[in-house]
C-alpha cells in the first residue's frame, strides 16, 4: 500500500457517493480546504520517514450511531473516575453540565492539515469537555472504540479548562479487537490562566490498526500541563502535536514512551512554541523497538521574539532490540530571542552489554537480565503517572508487552 492513495480528488469522489454526508452544509467548504491543503505524501519532509501514508478512499464512510444500552467491556474501571466512552465518534454516556456532544460539529477555521480537515468532514460531532473551578467532576476516563466498524472513524474531542480549574484526564485509544481499527482523531485543549491539567494518553494498536491523532494545545498564563503519552503499537500510531505556550509563566511537562512490536510504527511529531516570557517546557521521549518495528521522533521547539527567560529542554532516547529495527530522531531548536535557556539531545543504541553481563553474573538468566533493564528504562516514564490505579494499569500493559517479546 505504498504511495498516496488518498488524494483530494479521491476524497471528493467518495463524498459524492455518501448521500448523508454530501448533503451537509459545510461539505463544499471543507472539500475546498482539502483541495488547497492537499493530503500528506511521502515526499514531504514530515512524512518521508513513514513507510506509507494513512488510509484509503474506500476507508472513508459515515458510521451509524451505536444502539442504546450497548454493553461494553472496558479494560480500565475505577470508582474515582467518571467514564465517558466514545464509540465510532459517538457518545455512549448521557451528557452532563461538564460534558456535551455537539452535532453538527462546529466549523473549525484552524485545521492544520488535510487529515485534520478530513476529521472535520467526517466527524459526527464534537465531544466538548468544559471544566470550571466549581466542577464536581475531577477525574475523567475517555476510552475511544471502533466496535465492529472496520472503516474510518473520526472522533473529535475539545477540552477546555477555565481559569483556575484542575482536572485529571485519561484518554485511551483502544485497539481493534474484533476487526481493524482505523481512527483519525482531532483533539483540542485550552488551559485558562492558572488551570492545571494532568493528562495520560494511551494509544494501543493491533497489527492492522491505523491511529492518527492531531492535537492542538494552547496554555494561558501560569497554567500547567503534566502529560504522559504512551504508544503501545503493533500497528501504526502517529501523534501530531501543535503546542503553544501563550501566556507568561505557562509550564509543560511531556513524557513519552513508545513500546513497539512486530513491524509496528510509532511516530511523534511535536512543535512546541514559547510565545511569552518565563515559559517552561520539558519534553522527554523514549522508545523501545524490537523485531522489524520503526520509530520516528520529530520534535521542534520554537522560541518566539520577545519570549525571554524561556526554559526549554528536549530529550529523545531509544533502544533497538533487533538489527531490523529502525529509529529516526530529529530534535530541533529555533530560537528568536535572547536570554533563554534551551537544550536538546538524542541517543539511540542497544542494551549495555556490561550491564547485561553484570546481571547474569549475579545469577539472572539472559531473559531476566534484559527484562530488568527494559523495565527500568520504561518505568522512568511510567512512574511519572500521578495516580496509583492508572500507574498499575500501565504497568500491566508493560508486563504484557514484555511477555510477548521474542
Residue pLDDT, tens place only, 327-382: 999 999 999 999 999 999 999 999 999 999 999 999 999 999 999 999 999 999 99
> pLDDT band at 315, cuts 50/70/90?
very high
271 within a domain of the structure (yes/no):
yes
43 Cβ contact partners less than 8 Å away, ≥ 6 residues apart: none
227 within a domain of the structure (yes/no):
yes
The answer to whether the Cα torsion of 19, 113, 207, 157 is positive or negative is: negative
Are the CB atoms for 181 and 175 separated by under 8 Å?
yes
8 within a domain of the structure (yes/no):
no
Most confident of 7-21, 48-62, 132-146: 132-146
**Model confidence at 4: pLDDT above 60:** no
196 within a domain of the structure (yes/no):
yes
**Model confidence at 219: pLDDT above 50:** yes
396 within a domain of the structure (yes/no):
no
> pLDDT band at 183, cuts 50/70/90?
very high
Least confident of 170-184, 261-275, 351-365: 170-184
* Total domains in the fold of the chain: 1
87-113 burial, b for 16+ CB within 10 Å, e for fewer?
A: bbbbbbeeeeebbbbeeebeebeebbb
Residue pLDDT, tens place only, 62-114: 888 888 777 888 999 999 999 999 999 999 987 788 999 998 777 655 567 88
Provide the domain limits for residue 317. 73-352
Task: Report DSSP letters for 172-224, one per residue.
Answer: EEPPPSSS--EEEEEEEEEE-TT-EEEEEEEEEE-TT-EEEEEEEEEE-TT-E
CA dist list (Å): 29 to 39, 120, 126, 352: 16, 11, 18, 55
369 within a domain of the structure (yes/no):
no
7 within a domain of the structure (yes/no):
no
**Model confidence at 22: pLDDT above 90:** no
**Model pLDDT, residue 335:** 97
148 within a domain of the structure (yes/no):
yes
Amino acid at each position: 500500500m505504498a504511495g498516496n492513495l488518498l488524494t483530494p480528488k479521491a476524497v471528493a469522489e467518495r463524498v459524492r457517493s455518501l448521500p448523508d454526508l454530501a448533503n451537509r452544509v459545510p461539505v463544499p467548504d471543507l472539500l475546498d480546504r482539502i483541495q488547497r491543503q492537499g493530503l500528506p505524501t511521502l515526499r514531504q519532509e514530515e512524512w518521508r520517514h513513514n513507510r506509507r501514508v494513512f488510509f484509503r478512499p474506500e476507508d472513508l464512510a459515515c458510521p451509524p450511531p451505536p444502539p442504546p444500552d450497548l454493553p461494553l467491556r472496558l479494560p480500565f474501571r475505577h470508582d474515582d473516575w467518571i467514564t465517558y466512552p466514545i464509540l465510532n465518534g459517538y457518545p455512549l454516556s448521557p451528557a452532563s453540565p461538564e460534558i456535551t456532544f455537539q452535532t453538527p460539529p462546529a466549523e473549525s477555521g484552524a485545521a492544520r492539515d488535510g487529515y485534520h480537515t478530513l476529521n472535520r468532514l467526517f466527524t459526527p460531532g464534537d465531544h466538548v469537555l468544559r471544566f470550571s473551578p466549581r466542577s464536581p467532576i475531577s477525574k475523567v476516563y475517555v476510552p475511544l472504540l471502533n466496535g465492529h466498524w472496520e472503516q474510518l472513524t473520526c472522533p473529535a474531542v475539545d477540552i477546555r479548562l477555565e481559569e483556575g480549574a484542575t482536572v485529571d484526564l485519561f484518554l485511551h485509544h483502544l485497539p481493534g479487537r474484533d476487526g481493524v481499527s482505523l481512527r483519525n482523531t482531532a483533539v483540542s485543549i485550552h488551559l485558562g490562566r492558572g488551570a492545571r491539567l494532568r493528562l495520560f494518553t494511551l494509544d494501543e494498536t493491533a497489527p492492522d490498526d491505523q491511529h492518527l491523532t492531531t492535537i492542538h494545545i494552547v496554555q494561558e498564563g501560569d497554567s500547567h500541563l503534566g502529560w504522559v503519552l504512551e504508544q503501545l503499537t503493533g500497528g501504526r500510531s502517529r501523534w501530531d502535536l501543535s503546542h503553544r505556550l501563550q501566556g507568561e509563566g505557562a509550564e509543560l511537562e511531556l513524557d513519552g514512551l513508545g513500546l513497539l512490536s512486530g513491524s509496528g510504527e510509532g511516530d511523534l511529531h511535536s512543535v512546541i512554541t514559547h510565545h511569552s516570557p518565563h515559559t517552561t517546557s520539558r519534553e522527554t521521549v523514549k522508545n523501545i523497538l524490537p523485531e522489524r518495528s520503526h520509530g520516528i521522533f520529530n520534535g521542534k521547539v520554537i522560541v518566539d521574539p520577545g519570549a525571554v527567560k524561556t526554559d526549554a529542554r528536549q530529550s529523545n532516547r531509544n533502544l533497538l532490540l533487533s538489527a531490523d529495527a529502525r529509529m529516526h530522531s530529529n530534535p530541533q531548536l529555533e530560537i528568536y530571542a535572547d536570554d533563554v535557556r534551551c537544550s536538546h539531545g538524542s541517543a539511540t543504541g542497544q542494551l549495555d552489554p556490561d550491564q547485561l553481563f553484570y546481571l547474569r553474573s549475579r545469577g539472572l538468566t539472559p531473559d531476566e537480565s534484559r527484562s530488568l533493564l527494559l523495565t527500568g528504562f520504561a518505568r522512568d516514564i511510567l512512574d511519572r503517572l500521578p495516580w496509583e490505579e492508572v500507574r498499575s494499569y500501565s504497568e500491566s500493559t508493560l508486563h504484557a508487552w514484555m511477555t510477548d517479546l521474542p
